Amino acid sequence: MSATTHESAKDLAIQAIGFNLWYGTFQALYDVNLDIKGGIITSLIGPSGCGKSTFLRSVNRINERLGYVRTNGSITLFGKNILDEDVELSQLRKHVGMVFQRPNPLPISIRDNILYGYRIHNPNANKSEEEGIMEAALRKVLLWDKVKDKLNKKASVGLSLEEMQKLCIARLLPTNPTLLLMDEPCSALDPKGTAAVEELIWELRGEFSILIVTHNMAQARRASDECIFMLMGKVMEHTKTEDLFVNPAKKETADYIEGRYG
Amino acid sequence: MSDITAATTAEAAGDRLDKNWMIDKGLQALMFICGFSAIIFVLGIFIFVFKEGAEFVAHKMDFAEFFFSPKWRPTSLSNPTYGILALIAGTAAITALSMAICLPFSLGAAVFIGEFAKGKTREYLKILIELLAAIPSVVWGFIGLAIMNPFIIKTFDVPIGLNVLNSSLILALMAAPIVTSLAEDALKAVPDAYREAAEALGATRWQMIYKVIIPAAKNGLLSAALLGVGRAFGETMAVLMASGHSINMPTSMFDSVRALTATIAAELGETPVGSDHYQALFAIGIFLFIITFVINLAADLIVRGVRKG
């Protein structure tokens, strides 16, 4: 099914084996088997309700806050099964950052937003250390010059959606995550903002493994290395992006990318 | 063709006078009267209280004595004095202590219901707390008299159990449901996106509540607390029964005191209408009115501040 099956589990950013998920009695994911490579951008596409966000939200287990989610099978990140009992959610989420559909800066200052995750995992860090880390994160997302004079202002006012989304990406960086999950990160943005954020995601490629859910096929096509097509809770196809778009192996994939449903 | 149009128009015009139209208009008028009457009643009470107290305030009242003398002796034949300082002190002591007891519990309960309790537990807790709000104040007063009084005498070895502590405990219980449910509303108004963001960054439940949810809800929580203060401040019957009702500058929580509200309730029925004593009680009423108005207004403005920010 995928081109990456012979790689050892350690090199894989995400390896899902026989992963099923139910919301109450509704089964949202069926026997998902995926080998997602580290260091590249992989996009997840498929029509609404196909389970792509559900899978993404299973990788940092944020799904579980709903309280009525059951799973079986395994999801392994760099060799460690995150569904094991000894996994601490806080530690897992230190290594796996998540960007949401709507930019959701916390209602605290820009500085505190960027350092929120860092302070959780480094409660005794000193001020100057924090300042350096914050500046590096903001520089990385090209936001430093824009916000350096209003670091103490609230992050939820006075920033454009694009800037907020960049901020939401920047606040993941101080904890040195290995994997970034992005749930339609550009769907709330205008075309200009979309281009800027996409460019930023491309910049982060290589340093992080990135899994991105998108509704926008053009975006998947231009901004990802590999592409996974899902339908009705099942993985249909997982291959290099250009192959998937030029030469889809399955009829359903071809129908979807040609816009026959979605 | 034009005939038909004319006929339809006439019919349409006639439609307006049919039964549904009448019911609609009639009910609209009724609703208007209901809504408007609330304003009329509030204004009416306002005007009545001010009218009854105005003469005393304008001509007979010695402001310094009224606010700074602890001697409330309205029935003295030779030299009646109208100092409400002891009553203010009584009300303030009871309100302050009751809030000191009530707020931590209520806010804790609100956080538990809003952020930790799930499903059935949460529903039952909410119903129970609302039930607490439905207990009449005279029943609370009765509990103060019959249960708390001997309990306090025994536990703390004091001569009398009708005191600041007793009425504060009763008031704390009375204000708790209001504060809890308003505080829970304030927590519920915090967008779920904040919780998700904090959790996705690795925050534990408590780190999230402490650093994100409570700061985001702080105006709503503050206004809930203020309305609790207003409730404690304005309560009459339970305080009358549980406070001991004796004029006293309290020095400890085991002193019996008298509250502003309780004074009015206890004395107004026994004063000749229009006498100085009667008018002085209304002056106290005006004072209470202004304070509760300020508290409620502050709470309202704080909540509005939330919506704007």
Q: Which helix (H) or strand (E) holds A237?
A: strand A234-240
CB-based contact B212 A107, cutoff 8 Å: yes
> Minimal Cα distance from B118: which residue of A?
A67
**How many residue pairs bridge chain A and chain B with CB atoms within 8 Å of each other?**
65
Mean pLDDT of chain A: 88
> Hey, is the C-beta of A156 within 8 angstroms of any chain B C-beta?
no
Whether the per-residue pLDDT at B256 is higher than 90: the answer is: yes
CA of A103 vs chain B CAs: smallest distance (Å): 9
- Per domain, the residue ranges of chain A are 9-104+180-257
Going by their DSSP bridges, the two strands A226-231 and A41-45 should be labelled as parallel
**CA–CA gap between residue A129 and residue A35 (Å, rounded):** 37
Q: Give the pLDDT mean for B124-147.
A: 92
Q: Which of A102, A157, A171 is facing B201, going by the closest CB pair? A: A171
Between the alpha carbon of residue B48 and those of residues A248, B62, B285, B301, the distances in Å are: 83, 22, 11, 27
Taking contacts as CB-CB distances below 8 angstroms, the residues of chain A near B198 are: 106, 116
Run of H or E including A30: strand A26-37
Tell me the average pLDDT of chain B. 89
Residues listed for chain B: 309
What token pair was written down for B50? 């001010």
Q: Is residue A107 helix, strand or coil?
A: coil
CA distance linking residue B151 with residue A257, whole number of Å? 77
pLDDT score for A218? 85
Mean pLDDT, rounded, for A2-21: 71
Q: Are A107 and B200 a contacting pair at CB < 8 A?
A: no
CA A180 to chain centre: 4
- How far lies A118's CA from each of A23, A174, B205, in Å? 32, 6, 16
pLDDT attached to residue B235: 92
B121 has a chain A CB within 8 A of its CB: no
Contact A9, A81 (CB under 8 A): no
Asked if residue B253 lies in contact with residue B164, where contact means CB atoms within 8 angstroms, the answer is: yes
Average pLDDT of A120-142?
A: 89
Question: Sheet holding A69-77: strands in order across?
Answer: A26-37, A12-23, A69-77, A80-81
Q: Rounding to the nearest 10 degrees, give the CA dihedral for residues A61, A66, A72, A75.
A: -10
The CA R_g of chain A, rounded to the nearest whole Å, is 18
pLDDT of residue A124: 86
Predicted confidence (pLDDT) at residue B79 exceeds the cutoff of 60: yes
Pairwise CB contact (< 8 Å): B212 & A89: no
Pick the residue of B118, B187, B201, B208 with the most A CBs within 10 A to test the interface with A by mutation. B201
pLDDT of residue A219: 87
Contact, A59 vs A75, CB < 8 A?
yes
Chain-centroid distance of CA B31 in Å reads 26
Contact A21, A69 (CB under 8 A): yes
A90 touches chain B (CB under 8 A): yes
User: CB under 8 Å to A190, separation ≥6 — which residues?
Assistant: A161, A162
| Rounded Cα–Cα distance for residues A237 and A245 (Å) | 11
Q: CB–CB of B211 and A100 under 8 A?
A: no
Helix (H, G, I), strand (E, B) or coil at A44: strand
Collapsing DSSP to helix, strand or coil, B126 comes out as: helix
Written as six digits, the tokens of B224 are 């809930």
Q: Which of A45-54, A98-107, B4-13, B138-147 has the lowest mean pLDDT?
A: B4-13
pLDDT category, A168, cuts 50, 70, 90?
A: very high
Percent of chain A past pLDDT 90, that is, above it, reads 46
Q: Which of B200, B207, B216 minimises the CB distance to A62? A: B200
pLDDT at site A1: 41
pLDDT in the model for residue B306 = 58
SS3 category, A138: helix
Q: Where are the alpha helices (DSSP H) in chain A?
A: 52-59, 89-95, 110-121, 127-140, 144-147, 161-170, 191-204, 217-223, 241-246, 251-257
Tell me the mean pLDDT in the region B21-40: 93
Cross-chain residue pair A106–B207, CB shorter than 8 Å? no
**Closest Cβ–Cβ partner in B118, B196, B203 for A104:** B196
Calpha distance A36→A238 (Å, rounded): 9
CB contact under 8 A, A105 and B216: no
* pLDDT score of A2: 43
Does residue A3 surpass a pLDDT of 50? no
- CATH topology for A9-104+180-257? Rossmann fold (3.40.50)
Q: CA B86, B90, B92: angle at the middle one, nearest 5?
A: 115
pLDDT of residue B305: 72
pLDDT (0 to 100) of residue B9: 58
Per-residue pLDDT at A193 exceeds 60: yes
- Whole-angstrom CA distances from B234 to A22, A207, B34, B290 are 53, 63, 26, 11
Q: Does A172 touch chain B (CB under 8 A)?
A: yes
In whole angstroms, give the CA distance from residue B165 to residue B149. 10
Which tokens belong to A18? Answer: 């026989």
The helix (H) or strand (E) run that includes residue A182 is strand A179-183
Alpha-carbon gap, residue A228 to A234, rounded angstroms = 10
Give the pLDDT mean for A239-250.
Answer: 88
Decide if B200 touches A, using CB distance below 8 A: yes
CB neighbour list of residue A51: distance below 8 Å, 6 or more residues apart: A21, A28, A29, A32, A230, A232, A233, A234
Look at residue A230 in the predicted model and tell me its pLDDT: 92
